[in-house]
Amino acid sequence: MVSATVKQLFLVFASVLLAFPADASTSVDEPDSAYVFAYAPDEQRGRGTLRFAWSVDRQEWHAIGPEHGFLYSDYGTWGGEKKLYDPFLFRDRDGLWHAVWSLNDRDGAFAHAASIDLIEWQRQSYPIVSSGANVLMPEVAYDSEHGRYVVSWMSDDGGDQTFHSVRTRDFKTYGPTEAMPEARRLDVRRRVRVGDELRTGTVHRVAWTLVDGLIQAQKVAAYETRLHRETTDQDAVRFASLEPLEATITVDGDAAKPISEMLMGVFFEDINYAADGGIYAELVQNRGFEYRLSDKKGRDPDWNSLKAWHLAGSGATVRVDTVGPLHPNNPHYAVLDVEEPGAGLANEGFDGIAVQAGDTYDFSVFARILDGGEIDLLVRLVGPEGGVHGTARVTAASQEWQQLEAVIAAEATVPNARLEIVPQAPGRIALDMISLFPQKTFMGRENGLRADLAQVLADLKPRFVRFPGGCVAHGDGLGNIYHWKNTIGPLEARKPQRNLWGYHQSMGLGYYEYFQFSEDIGAEPVPVVAAGVPCQNSSAGGAGQQGGIPMCEMGDYVQDVLDLIEWANGAPSTEWGSKRAAAGHPEPFDLKYVGIGNEDLITDVFEARYRQIVEAVREQHPEITVIGTVGPFSSGTDYREGWELATDLGLEMVDEHYYQPPGWFIHNQDYYDRYDRSKSKVYLGEYAAHLPGRPNNIETALAEAIYLTALERNADVVHMASYAPLLAKDGFTQWRPDLIYFDNTQVKPTVGYYVQKLYGQNAGDTYIASRTSLSDDREDVRKRVAASVVHDSASGDVILKMVNMLPVDVQAAVDLTSAGVAESSATRTVLTGHPDDEDARPVTDEIAVAAQFDSTLPAYSFTLIRMKGGPQ
Ligand code: AHR
């Protein structure tokens, strides 16, 4: 039972918080004030959102939306977490609204966020206030005597309900947790009927303008969602009466501006088996016997040290041991106990081992005799039917770890062979780091990349390569942050780790290989390091991003980032430069960019660590361009707060990410037109057009092509851009769409790949303004035809890119008079097809051009015309 006196006292506090005078600035037929009800639907205890309803009499309530979420929780992993329930809203003495809510039924933390208008919310925090007990039904009272807030909650762990509270002045630092009697709870949540449902939440008297603002915000959001959901499926109706169009595209050679030469690049992340089993040319899967159950969080009992290995034949056994390992970073190895020679240790590769007749493969193994004398090892490539297609022999003779090497020439082309190691004598032998590597790698690099896959990336002509992610860079929980130092040096000394996309990273493709590849294709390396926090979507070792690297360890972490710069650019006489030199690259890699953070949730935990890293790098390496992070979306709290932080820090560049439906790209071509040129430059680090079902087809590719015309136009502020993700192995894909699919023998670029390639191979360094007018001036028509003209001073070429996302042809009259056309012929490339087409390929021909010429832009097409010329 609640004590009446105590309760009355707290209700006084509450009334101060919950009521305030109505604003008089309303029109005649609007109420001066109204009531707002803040709630989260109970049935949404999965991913709830903060909703509002309003009323003038507290009897009849009108949902705002009705499905509109004004605030989302960003705590913990997708799917299982991101919950918001039992919200409690109140307004502080300065008029700022605060919401606290429960995160789940388990953790000892609640969530807090504040807002001026209930529409735009500031950064969230998740204070841990309880160890070992959950935090439910949080509420806030104001203790006017001490000028502080009292956050209280209920815990029901173990069945008993107990009540606790903490005190705070600023919702950033909190006093100790104290037990409190239930009687001191405010208990002001109300049950209210919204539509057909009874909801629980808090009621507040507010000025009508606030309610009106909420209603308008919801209407705008709903309108934008409608626009963004526009797809070509609706074109038959939307453009039912549309006839083929005429367009004039007039270039204004006097309105030219320099643009970034770095615009087109690639984003590499080890997702979808992009690295091991993908571009990293190693053919043996789990060569170090380091796969662990924890790679897949124990969900797959077969994902263990012997994954991809089996014993073929009889007379021997295999087990895994860790005593006296090859290297502490590589603790597991296989022990073969051979009684009767004949059986072989077989590796199935990544879905088979593909070998090519006549090609040669480097085999290597670390071996140690545990019992018995010298053992010859027969190494062979075996086809699925048992045929042997290449052999070699090595001899293990040492009781210490010894690397043995041989070359196998493949005698047949087999897409799905296996590798067998067959001891030729009885005995006990330890084997580790069993490798089969094609000698034909991209540019013949040792420990290099699959030539065909690397070549399609090189063909994009990327000006930069971003790596190692994506989420892989900041990892799933503190223990999974990607540490570059674990990825360099001898392969057996690298530290493999769980890949947060649900598999394993051998780190065979490490920082040295990323830098070398970038150099080989003439691209700038753009490493991205974690900002001292793991991914906000982490599910391992706590929830979300709360587990930032402890501040007392941040000094070491910051030093790691500084060491990276020394490793890349330092002289061979420096500590870290010497390691690069020892690896085979005495010349510096000339690193110019370092990304700090990956679309992180902007919180206080994040900010403290981010500032520390950014400030140290800028102080010690002013020559490096630091790229900050502004969240995972094109708007919202992290975007806004990330930009505020970047502006405060005066960052040179920030990394924006957004995956959006094609309609968003069509309707946001002016996104960067509005950007303040005096602030940070933009690296659009991840973007792609997403349709339901996630295809990569003509529709998504043209939406990206249209948007790229806008990026070129804004390439004075958008310095770099990279589509994401880049690579995906058929059958091992966690994310769609991707730019390039592949299997063990084939590379399958998508339609979107060709758009990226056309832009990459036809970039310019000057943007020349142009004006497009159409015979039908409807807005939805206008937004689907776009053009961009650039000049490339190296070749002296003018490049015209035109996109037609309409279901009808556009007859374009192009006027390039002021751009100066120097020759009468030009190369034209057209990519066109049905919007659903995933197999369309660009077709190139030569056409006649002049200062003025006509060009038909077929329905749903991207046309690129390249010719000699340029502003005089
Ligand atoms: O590109 C796939 C993922 O999308 C990246 O890892 C992450 O940064 C983003 O959410």
Give the ligand 1 atom nearest the CA of 725. 1
Q: What is the mean pLDDT of residues 276-283?
A: 98
Residue 159 has pLDDT above 90, yes or no: no
Specify the ligand 1 atom closest to the Cα of 724. Answer: 1
> 725 alpha carbon to ligand 1 midpoint, in Å?
7
pLDDT on residue 80: 81
Q: Which atom of ligand 1 is nearest to the CA of 686?
A: 1
Joined together, the tokens standing for residue 668 give 């946001």
- Establish whether the linkage from the previous residue to 496 is cis, with ω within 30° of 0: no
**Rounded distance, CA 531 to CA 549, Å?**
9
Query: pLDDT band at 735, cuts 50/70/90?
Result: very high
pLDDT over 80 at 242, yes or no: yes
CB within 8 Å of 216: residues ≥ 6 apart: none
CA distance 744 to 390: 19
The pLDDT of residue 241 is above 80: yes
Is pLDDT at 812 greater than 80 in this prediction? yes
What is the band of 274 on the pLDDT scale with cuts at 50, 70, 90? Answer: very high
For the residues 151-178, what does the mean pLDDT come to?
94
Q: Atom of ligand 1 at shortest distance to CA of 599? A: 8
Is 270 a pocket residue for ligand 1 (Cβ < 6 Å)?
A: no
Instruction: Give whole-number Cα distances, 284 to 274, 351, 371, 439, in Å.
Output: 15, 10, 26, 14
Measured distance CA(843)–CA(847) in Å, rounded: 13
**Mean pLDDT over residues 565-575, rounded?**
98
User: Is the distance from CB of 239 to CB of 807 less than 8 angstroms?
Assistant: yes
From CA 104, how far away is CA 318, in angstroms rounded?
A: 45
3-class secondary-structure state, position 46: coil
The residue written with tokens 């003779």 in the block is 397
For residues 307-336, average pLDDT:
97
Element (H, E) at 853: strand 852-857
3-class secondary structure, 869: strand
Among 153-162, 537-546, 741-750, the least confident range: 537-546
Q: Tell me how many degrees the CA angle 349-355-357 measures, rounded to the nearest 5.
A: 165
Ligand 1 centre from 401 Cα, in Å?
Answer: 40
- How many A from CA of 78 to the centre of ligand 1? 13
pLDDT tens per residue, range 671-722: 999 999 999 999 999 999 999 999 999 999 999 999 999 999 999 999 999 9
String of DSSP letters for 71-121: EE---S-TTT----EEEEEEE-TTS-EEEEEE--SS-SBEEEEEESSSSSB
Residue bearing the CA closest to ligand 1, atom 5: 470
594 strand-pairing partners: 626
Instruction: Report the pLDDT value the prediction gives residue 44, as an integer from 0 to 100.
Output: 59
Name the CA radius of gyration of the chain, rounded.
31
- Helix, strand counts (H, E) of the chain: 14, 46
DSSP 43: G
Best CA proximity match to 689, nearest among 673, 701, 706, 671: 701
**Triad 43, 45, 47: Cα angle to 5°:** 110
The pLDDT value recorded for residue 369 is 98
Residues 529, 534, 540, 545: what is their CA dihedral angle, to the nearest 10 degrees? -170
The chain-wide mean pLDDT, for the chain, equals 94
Digit-coded pLDDT (tens) for 352-372:
999 999 999 999 999 999 999
Nearest CA among 773, 793, 797, 769 for reference residue 785:
773
**Known catalytic membership, residue 385:** no
Instruction: List C-alpha distances in Å: 817 to 550, 823, 846, 868.
Output: 62, 12, 20, 13
Residue 545: per-residue pLDDT: 61
CB atoms within 10 A of CB 732: 18
Name residues whose C-beta falls within 8 Å of residue 292's C-beta, 6 or more positions apart in sequence.
Answer: 303, 304, 305, 498, 504
218-240 pLDDT, tens digit per residue, is 999 999 999 999 999 999 999 99
Length of the chain: 872
Mean pLDDT of 532-539: 90
In whole angstroms, what is the distance from residue 748 CA to residue 753 CA? 9
Chain-centroid distance, C-alpha 198: 39
Collapsing DSSP states into helix, strand and coil, what is residue 708?
Answer: helix
By alpha-carbon position, which residue is closest to atom 2 of ligand 1? Answer: 725
Backbone φ/ψ region at 65: left (φ over 0), alpha (ψ -120 to 50), beta: left
Q: Is the pLDDT of residue 210 over 90?
A: yes
Taking CA atoms only, the protein residue closest to ligand 1 atom 7 is: 470
What do you get for the CA distance between the two ends of the chain, in Å? 87
| Identity of the residue numbered 463 | R
Any idea which residue has 């709360």 for tokens?
546
Give the residue among 138, 110, 141, 129 at the shortest CA–CA distance from 16: 141
Cα distance between residue 88 and residue 105, in whole Å: 16
Mean pLDDT of 89-96: 94
Angle, in degrees to the nearest 10, between helices 575-582 and 554-569: 50
Quote the pLDDT of residue 127: 93
Tokens 């005698």 sit at which residue? 411
Average pLDDT over residues 120-130: 95
Give the residue with greater pLDDT, 10 vs 688. Answer: 688
Residue 703 in contact with ligand 1 by CB distance below 6 A? no
Q: What is the mean pLDDT of residues 375-382?
A: 98
pLDDT of residue 28: 53
CB-ligand 1 contact for 735 (6 Å cutoff) = yes
Decide: helix, strand or coil at residue 580: helix
Query: Which range among 531-540, 566-575, 774-783 shows the weakest confidence by mean pLDDT?
Result: 531-540
Distance (Å) from CA 788 to ligand 1 centroid: 29
**In the numeric block, which tokens belong to residue 86?**
């039992």
Q: Is 125 helix (H, G, I), strand (E, B) or coil?
A: strand
Give 475 Cα–ligand 1 centroid separation in angstroms: 11
Does ligand 1 have an atom closer than 6 angstroms to the CB of 470? yes
Confidence grade of residue 42 (pLDDT, cut at 50, 70, 90): confident
Helix ranges, 621-743 (H): 637-649, 662-667, 698-713
% the chain with pLDDT above 90: 90
Q: How many CA atoms lie within 13 A of 809 on its CB side?
A: 8
Read off the pLDDT of each residue in 395-407 and give the average, rounded to a whole number.
98
Of 630, 581, 604, give the one whose Cα is nearest residue 532: 604
Closest CA to ligand 1's atom 1: 725
What sign for the dihedral angle of Cα 280, 284, 287, 292?
positive
Q: pLDDT band at residue 79, thresholds of 50, 70 and 90?
A: confident
CA of residue 658 to ligand 1 center, whole Å: 9
872 pLDDT higher than 70: no
Evaluate whether 28 touches 182 at the Cβ level (below 8 Å): no
Q: What is the DSSP letter of 570?
A: S
Q: Tell me the mean pLDDT in the region 794-807.
A: 97
Instruction: Give CA angle at 449 (443, 455), nearest 5°.
Output: 65
Over residues 112-140, the mean pLDDT reads: 95
> Which structure tokens are listed for 170?
């600023």
Name the residue with the closest Cα to ligand 1, atom 6: 470
Question: Could you tell me what percent of the chain has a pLDDT over 70?
Answer: 95
Q: What is the arithmetic mean of pLDDT over 628-652?
A: 98
pLDDT at residue 542 in the model? 59
Who's near 17: CB < 8 A, 6+ residues apart? 90, 91, 92, 140, 141, 142
| Count of other CB atoms within 10 angstroms of residue 697 | 24
Is a pLDDT exceeding 70 seen at residue 523?
Answer: yes
At residue 23, the pLDDT reads 35
| Residue linked to tokens 């073969």 | 336
Q: List the 740-742 sheet strands across, edge first.
A: 727-729, 740-742, 747-749
Q: Where are the beta strands (DSSP E) in 196-352?
A: 197-207, 245-258, 266-267, 309-312, 316-321, 333-338, 344-347
Cβ neighbours around 504 below 10 Å, total: 24
